[in-house]
């Protein structure tokens, strides 16, 4: 993942498709592409370069063609210890 001025951006894969991931501050929320519809609540696990693990529980919205994660704490924490992997568990 790459660090921008006020966001973190990278790529994620699901089955055989690749998605852009954008992490930035704001109201805690996960926005997914419409093809993932049916998930109302998600738990996101982040695994960082320094071996740390972070967890974010959030509501889910739809209507983007990329994966957008909003959360002030996660964004500031990951800006100094970039994520190398993440998983999203939908409920």
pLDDT (tens digit per residue) in 37-67: 888 999 999 999 999 999 999 999 998 789 9
41: left (phi over 0), alpha (psi -120 to 50) or beta: beta
pLDDT at 6: 80
Q: What is the CA radius of gyration of the chain?
A: 12
pLDDT at 89: 93
Three-class DSSP category at 41: strand
Burial (CB count <10 Å: 0-12, 13-18, 19+), residue 55: exposed
Q: pTM (2 decimals)?
A: 0.89
CB 26 within 8 A of CB 70: yes
């Amino acid at each position: 993942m790459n660090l921008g001025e006020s966001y973190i951006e990278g790529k994620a894969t699901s089955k055989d498709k690749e998605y852009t991931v954008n992490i930035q501050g704001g109201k805690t929320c996960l926005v997914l592409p419409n093809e993932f519809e049916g998930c109302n609540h998600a738990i996101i696990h982040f695994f960082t370069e320094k071996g740390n693990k972070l967890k974010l529980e959030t509501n889910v919205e739809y209507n983007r063609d990329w994966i957008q994660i909003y959360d002030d704490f996660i964004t500031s924490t990951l800006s100094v210890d970039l994520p190398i992997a993440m998983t999203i568990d939908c409920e």
